[in-house]
Structure 1
């Protein structure tokens, strides 16, 4: 008979016996297991634990830059019951580490850590500390007032529209609070961008500063109000007399062209109200190009609310007229 058949028949006889006998077998197994378990817990063991730690310090004027360690690896020895309580059955009180000057203390060595842990452990004995060094990254909390500016060049306007008033930011400054290493490196001002495209009317909107905050940096207030007026500009032009400047009185010098065309962009309603003489175009004899007898025209006065496009022509020639007596002598 094969060995497997013998084993199968033995098990069959065991499970086919009366229920009372089966209960006796189960109780015997349970009793033996319990005896072994309790006997094992009465012995001495050594084991490695990840033991919880807690840092005690004045949190009022400091910031934890990087998260502090929460556990330390140690090897302890003690009775089975004590080790069981430390690991499985109940939560343990963490090792408390006092930081008298947290902003200055950057690490705790293994030697210092061993003394702290050995002094607070109970029921088990510290064999040695596995963790080499605990690093601490805590800095003093400071604040700095920073001015807020808007990047006007990045504001998206609909074609033909212009900003016609100064950009108002309320409040014009915000306070940053955080660790010394970050706040100390902040510039005296920050640039914000208007997150709206194709603006074609007066603008007034809050811009959030929450994207400048983090776990360790606070911004107060959390938003600023930005406002400015927008108008639609159209193209206009005017014919303006050219005004000679610094021309010699003792020489018969004349401008060949006496008028110029000034093209500009301006709000249509305001353009209709512009008085004559709002623009002046100047030809300065001191800027004469003697190679070709030309002077580049430049704009003198013009309304501040306009955008100048161009002056036509860009330059004018001068001519030198002979005096009348000279012409008579030449005729003779």
Structure 2
């Protein structure tokens, strides 16, 4: 997760692939806790708490140098608030609308990141990278596509677009923040905002229903959500060393690809024909983005001033 871990030119790829693997495994098993009677709102609480250990570990490795200037704090809280806030909206959205339509909309969040990075950070890529981005964007909606069902009204669509905007903006600000502060500080502030929203998740929890507090409840959730937390950490480092226009579609297409493969191998879940097409597109996109010669972006990384 640093220059010492791999040459600067490919440090972004190492961290991006780590995110893909971690989030792929997390995605394959993330449904187990709710299936065992531990509600998703409490899963959020557990997830927020699992952010604490990796945040403290990397901050300790950085000799407890936390960026405390107002600009760094604003960026850090913006990144964390957009991510955690989007998750809160998602919890509400899935109670009002069909997940099979909500998640394909949300999966297009890299479009927001790519447009902003292209317009305001001047990021560009070569022909291979451009084709990879296109294939990734085409693949993303297929992983959560499921035909049929009741749309349950149209109010949910605005919440889905809100989550998409939040997570697309989060990725853009994550890259921008890496230019003026340390990755360790960014993740620390992400952890702080995630924990700060725990009371909101508790308020959204229906405690009138039975809740599983056993080993396959919160403890199982903690083990699974820790993968998510560490994946978020490696994503911060991927954005530090790589172009947002490359990292966003690679991780957002690669993680569902990994989830599909793991589900097929470990859980015996056979994807439908639409998802199989998506797997092929995501695999091709991942290879193109990984080997795009213009994808390394160590330039522009400014070492932050630590107060």
The structure having more radius of gyration, on CA atoms, is 1
Q: What's the TM-score once normalised by structure 2's chain length?
A: 0.17
If each structure's strand is expressed as a fraction of its own residues, which one has the higher value? Answer: 1
Q: What's the TM-score once normalised by structure 1's chain length?
A: 0.16
If each structure's helix is expressed as a fraction of its own residues, which one has the higher value? Answer: 2
Greater length-normalized contact order (CA 8 Å, ≥ 6 residues apart): 2
